[in-house]
Amino acid sequence: MTISAKQTFEILVREHSDMLRAFIFSLVRDRDLADELFQETFITAWKKLDSYDRKRPFGAWLRGIAAMHLMAKKRQISTSRLYYFDEETIVLLENRFAGISRYPGDTWQEKLDVLEKCIKTLPEPSQQLLSLYYHENYTCKEIASKVGASVEKIKKSLQRMRQALYECIYNKLGTTAIGDLQ
């Protein structure tokens, strides 16, 4: 039985959709807009599937398409506060995602499961801070006001938690590519 291009694409979409959402949400904090960019990326990928070089990673190809849509959208509504990135930021983020893809784990979900386990090892206040920042989209200034701390303390706390999570993920995945995520 031969797998059609449509079936192959459906498999690739399932395998890479979580990664692509994470990539887009890393740059755009508005859910509706992120969903729109996510859909536009897969529509473009479907239309350009014939041009995909199968020797290259599919995830990197998708992120490249998403980056083009992100920059186009940024130019379209350049006065918006929804964007916290420039082309250099996209390149840096792409390097991080490419590094993650080299880690052991068959799927992006398995890697996210490791992250979730690592988050659970943090003290409850740290977990709450991460939730405020990454899930509820509070700014450092808003969090500082909410918890009665300085903005610099919040930034430093987030920086320390990111490092602790990096080390935990590194240890759980047993990778030898330590430089890939730094």
Pick the CATH number of 1-101 from 1.20.1110.10, 1.10.1740.10, 1.10.3720.10, 1.10.760.10: 1.10.1740.10
pLDDT-derived band at 50, boundaries 50, 70, 90: confident
pLDDT at 108: 66
- Where residue 114 falls among pLDDT bands split at 50, 70, 90? confident
Rounded to 5°, angle at Cα 128 from 123 and 132:
150
Q: What is the dihedral of CA 170, 13, 39, 95, to 10 degrees?
A: 30
Domain 106-182 CATH class label: mainly alpha
pTM for the model stands at: 0.55
49, 50, 126 from 5: Cα distances, Å? 9, 9, 45
For residue range 144-160, what is the model confidence (pLDDT) as tens digits? 999 999 999 999 998 89
How far apart are alpha carbons 126 and 120 in whole angstroms?
10
Domain extent listing, the chain: 1-101, 106-182
